[in-house]
Amino acid sequence: MELLLASAGTLGGFGAGWLAGTRQHLLYRQPEYRAAAATGRRALVIRSGLGIACALVAAIALRPGHYDTGPALLTAAFGAILCVLASTDFERRIIPNRLSYPAMAAALALCWAWPDRDVASILLGGGIAVAGAGLVFALGVLLGNALGLGDVKLAVLIGLLTGWPAFLPAIVFGVVLAAVPSAFLMLTGRRKAYFSYGPYLAAGALAVILFPGPFV
């Protein structure tokens, strides 16, 4: 039964990811982006990329011997949201409010549903995320190398999903992953170039929520 659920979830994850890729442009607030749905090869890359990512997330979240069905489905759903936010950041360097705010509200409302972290740890993780990401954003503004406000919102969502102390390794994993493109830009003489930071933060969060055992 668990294997059947994992198989069905994997197929459903691919379909959900593909569908999200066809509607991704509607998440943006800017009219010019909302009116410019991806076409051709770009559309295929977005849709297939999201489909594969969401299918992989669902397969891992619903693997036999992991969570019960409810928390496993919850993990798959929030994992898919993180994948979509990573995709929008890759496409437009935007973490859209139309998805991030409802996701934060849902994470807060369902913080009681996790079997391995309690409400207090979730609230603490969210609070530390607000304080820490806000401080980094403020320092970045002063130093002229600002962390995007969208990345701050993503960090808060990660805090509400992972709780404390799991929030810390999730962010550390994201920062370590982001060091790869950062080092590449430095080595190629583009120190002041910007890149999308959100996908790496999302990847760090996925590592922790999909394999929470060592962290929660």
Domain ranges of the chain: 2-210
Enumerate the H helices of the chain as residue ranges.
2-23, 31-34, 40-61, 69-92, 97-109, 119-143, 149-162, 167-187, 198-210
Helix (H) / strand (E) containing 132: helix 119-143
- pLDDT under 70 in the chain at which residues? 1, 139-147, 189-194
Residue whose structure tokens are 């590449």 = 184
User: Which structure tokens are listed for 19?
Assistant: 């569908």
User: Which structure tokens are listed for 100?
Assistant: 């991030």
Give this prediction's pTM.
Answer: 0.93
pLDDT for the residue 140: 61
Q: What is the DSSP letter of 30?
A: S
pLDDT for the residue 142: 59
What CA–CA distance (Å, rounded) separates 210 from 212?
6
pLDDT for the residue 125: 95
* SS3 at position 186: helix
